[in-house]
Amino acid sequence: MAQSSCPSSFLRLLYIYVIGTFEIRYLASSPTSLACVVPLDDKIAVSSSYKYLPQSRFRALSATMGFEFDPHHIRVEVSDNQTNSLPLTQRDREAGSYSDFTATATVRKVKEEHHLSYLSTASLTFNRTIGTAIFVSPATILEINGSKTMCIILWLLGGVLTWAGMIVYLEYGIRWPLDGGGLHYTDRVWTRPRKFWTYLYGVMFVLLGGSQANAIIFSQAALTAASPGSPQDPRLVRAFAIFLVASICLFQSFSRINYIRFSNAFAIYKVLLLTFITIAGLLAVGGFRFPSGPQRAFGLTNLANDLAAGTYTAYGTAISLLLIMRAYAGYEVVNYVLEEVRRPHDDPNKVYRRSLKLSVSSVTFFYVMVNVAFFATCSTDELLTNRNTFALFISKVFGNSADSRVVAGVMLCFSAGGAVVSFIYTNVRVLKEIARMGIIPLPEFWATTTRYNTPGPALLLHFLATGILILATPLGDATGFLVFITLPNYARTVLSILLGLGLLAAPWLKSFRSSEGDLLWEPKSSRHLKGFLVFPLALLFVLINLFVLVLYWFPPQGQRDGGIATPITSNCIGPVAMGIFGGAVLYWVWDRLVLPRLGCRMEIEDPDVVDDDFDVRITFKREISGISKTVVDALTRISVRPARPT
């Protein structure tokens, strides 16, 4: 039985009788649950039909059933169509417990025939990784280095670094095929202090795990396509971005299967788009010109004597790699939904392993070929003077017109929309797991699966967090906008270092061993190279994340000295991220150390599997005693009014 303190705040501790009554409203849908309802004004109990019973009615009901009425300590067993009162037992009185606020969350598993196939699994990675960064970053990286050949080499290096991260997450996913990804990995590997890193991961994910960046980019691209060259109203950008997130969350809340088909369609679109760009680039390299294209510099002419024109500095290379690593981010999202991935009997990890390797390899290939296409089609001066690289490419292929710019904007919209679709589907599963572990308040509500077999409450939580971040993002301030969209990447970097170090120490950690505990762990992501491949890549993964972690603390003076117009880093990101982690530490101290000493505790009982292994019932049992009991008793007696005479 896992134990946790009562998820709470100061108001929850002092006014728990109000919140407890609120929670019973959701408890009523679980017929066998047992809970205590504290009187609220003249309303004392809740029936399975979500209706309160007046205190006078409950007193009469208690007398009819032969029980003694006690307005301060009453247990109510909620059944299908009735509400029964039970007096507080002597055992409870001796234990000094005020009440047991017991609630349940019912989580419905995905049926095996609806598990994710090769296409659906690869589509999640493909959609999440390929957003809009690949279409806008090449020009900025070229501005930093001045050499197209050097840029292509850096994109290849970024693919190697991405492969290292993919191997690390692949090993964790094979060892623990659970929804939630890094949440469970930190919980099992970094066990001291107890639940410390789990809380940090959970708080970070709730606060920063929104899809605001891609939603805002989608909104900006859509407005650009609708009215090219016109200034954009920040209020309209925010409203459109919130509408996009709300629509996707609402769609997913009603149909998981259709949502997966929707995701697959976006992935197929992106493959076709990148294939078209690749073919156009190869034709440009071969000297072929489209009849409608402008007769300007084209093909190998744009790549001649390129290395000599470069400006190579350590800081410029570091900043370029940082941009490239942002473009490759998202390969770990399949680990968030591993319980939904198909597991063949002959090799349970086959679909997961092959889909992940195929998608990461494809992304690396397409990223390199897109750079080749852009650089062969457009000259360096054109790329540096026109910030809309993709629109420039379309105009060089099909001719410079307003229609080409509109087409480019629409294509970017679909690419950003696919990223939001994958982002919401995977991140919501992590929010559900965070609730199941009791890290956030009202876990029995946020962890519940709706009758449509979708995580509706978690979708609501994601929408609320994303909406707040969209409203708070300063669209008119480039540096402020950069801070808001890169904070999640920075926070994830800290946790990636923990995962990499944990994998390096895996042979000596008990958590990595078999369930029997007598077999040593060995890597399973590569059948032949095993540790000869995994451990060097895990070390590389740790080093590259340390590099990113340190680079964010450097002031952006190097960017200004280099004449880089687009801000890439800000020395505000590191302190802001550390401030969020500091708040998470304080929340862990309050929830795990302070509240138990005040008498507020919660136990998460082992999940109860029912209904042919498809429904899992999770019980959250809360107990109030000690100082908390004294405070709540006093508040309850003040709030209870005498029954009106009949």
For helices 148-175 and 531-551, what crossing angle results, to 10°?
120
- The confidence score (pLDDT) of residue 611 equals 61
- The confidence score (pLDDT) of residue 145 equals 82
Please report which confidence band the pLDDT of residue 76 belongs to, taking 50, 70 and 90 as the band edges: very low
Please report which confidence band the pLDDT of residue 140 belongs to, taking 50, 70 and 90 as the band edges: confident
Residue 8: pLDDT above 70?
Answer: no
| Gap between the Cα atoms of 44 and 21, Å rounded | 9
Beta bridge mates, 86: 75
- The confidence score (pLDDT) of residue 301 equals 65
Q: What is the pLDDT of residues 40-54, one digit of tens each?
A: 333 333 333 323 334
DSSP letters of 187-204? HHH--SSTTHHHHHHHHH
- The confidence score (pLDDT) of residue 281 equals 85
For helices 350-377 and 389-398, what crossing angle results, to 10°?
70
Residue 305: pLDDT above 70?
Answer: no
- The confidence score (pLDDT) of residue 53 equals 38
Give the number of other CB atoms < 10 A from CB of residue 567. 16
- The confidence score (pLDDT) of residue 517 equals 52
Q: What is the pLDDT of residues 316-325, one digit of tens each?
A: 788 888 889 8
Beta bridge mates, 101: 622
Cα–Cα separations (whole angstroms), residue 455 to 66, 110, 370, 426: 42, 11, 37, 11
Q: For residue 324, give the nearest of 526, 559, 134 by alpha carbon.
A: 134
User: What are the φ and ψ backbone dihedral angles of 179, each rounded to 5 degrees?
Assistant: -65, 145
Please report which confidence band the pLDDT of residue 644 belongs to, taking 50, 70 and 90 as the band edges: low
Residue 492: pLDDT above 50?
Answer: yes
Indicate yes or no: pTM above 0.95: no
Please report which confidence band the pLDDT of residue 245 belongs to, taking 50, 70 and 90 as the band edges: very high
User: Residue by residue, what is the 3-state secondary structure of 234-300?
Assistant: HHHHHHHHHHHHHHHHHHHHHCHHHHHHHHHHHHHHHHHHHHHHHHHHHHHHCCCCCCCCCCCCCHH
Q: What is the pLDDT of residues 359-393, one digit of tens each?
A: 999 999 999 999 999 988 888 888 888 878 888 88
- The confidence score (pLDDT) of residue 370 equals 93
- The confidence score (pLDDT) of residue 612 equals 61
Query: Which residue in this structure is represented by tokens 């959609």?
Result: 127
Q: On the CB side of 432, how many CA atoms lie within 13 Å of its CA?
A: 29
More confident residue, 626 or 70: 626
Provide the residue count of the chain.
646
- The confidence score (pLDDT) of residue 328 equals 92
Q: What is the pLDDT of residues 15-43, one digit of tens each?
A: 333 333 333 333 333 333 333 333 333 33
Query: Which residue in this structure is represented by tokens 């990804």?
Result: 181
165-174, 195-204, 291-300, 369-378: segment of lowest average pLDDT? 291-300
All domains in the chain, ordered by first residue = 2-108+600-639 (no CATH), 112-571 (1.20.1740.10)
Q: Reduced to 3 states, what is the DSSP secondary structure of residue 107?
A: strand
Residue 561: pLDDT above 60?
Answer: no
Contact 499, 546 (CB under 8 A): no
Residue 442: pLDDT above 50?
Answer: yes
| Gap between the Cα atoms of 326 and 439, Å rounded | 29
55-59, 338-342, 538-542: segment of lowest average pLDDT? 55-59
- The confidence score (pLDDT) of residue 98 equals 39
Q: For residue 35, give the nearest of 90, 95, 96, 104 by alpha carbon.
A: 104
- The confidence score (pLDDT) of residue 68 equals 43
136-145, 251-260, 426-435: segment of lowest average pLDDT? 136-145
Percentages helix, strand, coil for the chain (3-state, rounded to 5) are: 65, 10, 30
Please give the DSSP secondary-structure letter assigned to residue 371.
H
Mean pLDDT over residues 535-551, rounded? 89
Contact 481, 519 (CB under 8 A): no
The tokens for 516 are 């029997």
- The confidence score (pLDDT) of residue 501 equals 93
Q: Reduced to 3 states, what is the DSSP secondary structure of residue 44?
A: strand
Query: Considering the chain, what is the average pLDDT of its residues?
Result: 77
- The confidence score (pLDDT) of residue 65 equals 42
Cα Rg of the chain (Å, integer): 28
- The confidence score (pLDDT) of residue 97 equals 38
User: Residue by residue, what is the 3-state secondary structure of 139-163?
Assistant: HHHHHHHCCHHHHHHHHHHHHHHHH
The tokens for 610 are 């029912």
The tokens for 345 are 């009997």
377-381, 419-423, 558-562: segment of lowest average pLDDT? 558-562
